[in-house]
Amino acid sequence: MSMLELRHVSKSYGEGANEVDAISDIDLSVERGSLVAIMGPSGSGKSTLLTIAGSLEEPTTGEVSIDGVRLSGMSRNDKARLRRRSVGYVFQDFNLLAGLTAVENVSLPLELDGTSMKKARTKGLAALEGLGLGDRAENYPDQLSGGERQRVAIARAVVGDRSLLLADEPSGALDSVNGEAVMRMILAACHGGVAAVVVTHDAKLASWADRVVFLRDGRAVDETLPPPTPEELLNPNTANPA
């Protein structure tokens, strides 16, 4: 069963003559451990797709399911709980709360869920150390570099064994070296069982994914084929034509 499932999801804004379709009739399925990239020009609806998948917005039509549970029947509080426990979100910039240290930021979803401060802090420190930021745990966001801030954001998005990671242009504000580091970390999380969806316009970053979905004008128009397995390579007849 896939971790994230979108079925015939559409979203439109405005009414009557002013109606604008942000996304139309999108189907998407993301399994555990897989990294899916969503590419498209600006205005193609990539960010809307992500906010709907992350329960931050409701689709006009269609069904979103996270780990088999449909979002349409959920109350506001249930959705909030989902965001605390199952879904991690990473934005392009401005991810962290300015008044809290790095480790406090990372432990925040756990604390909001009722975990005691001490336990949450332990888990938060572990997540930061896993990303190489153990010594920056007590720094405030304005004392961290851009790359470090994004890493803290990723730590927060995966802390507490969350299983779905949604990232909207996570490397958008970073240089290429830091951008790659971010993708590397997301991939590492996928190897740990997380299902990840990354929205990007950069092909180099999208190439980290197992599967790339192309969006245009709110529709999924194309998708990369999975890489040939060793068997297929050995049998040229079944190999994909380039």
Cα(218)–Cα(40) distance, integer angstroms? 9
119-178: contacts with another protein (CB under 8 A): 120, 156, 161, 163
**Does residue 100 bind another protein (CB under 8 A)?**
yes
Cα(56)–Cα(170) distance, integer angstroms? 17
Phi-psi region of 24 (alpha: psi -120 to 50; beta: other; left: phi over 0): beta
Cα(136)–Cα(108) distance, integer angstroms? 17
In angstroms and rounded to an integer, the radius of gyration of the C-alpha atoms of the chain is: 19
205-234: contacts with another protein (CB under 8 A): 206-210, 212, 214, 221-225, 227
- Tell which residue, 91, 88, 99, has the closest CA to residue 156: 88
Q: Which is nearer to another protein, 3 or 133 (CB)?
A: 3
**Does residue 192 bind another protein (CB under 8 A)?**
no
**Does residue 29 bind another protein (CB under 8 A)?**
no
CA angle 140, 144, 145 (to 5 degrees): 160
Q: Which is nearer to another protein, 7 or 85 (CB)?
A: 85
76-95: contacts with another protein (CB under 8 A): 76-77, 80-86, 89, 91, 94-95
- Least separation in angstroms between residue 85's CB and another protein is 6
Cα(135)–Cα(77) distance, integer angstroms? 35
Binding interface with another protein (CB under 8 A): 39, 41, 51, 54, 56-57, 67-69, 76-77, 80-86, 89, 91, 94-100, 104, 107-109, 111-117, 120, 156, 161, 163, 184, 187, 202-204, 206-210, 212, 214, 221-225, 227, 242
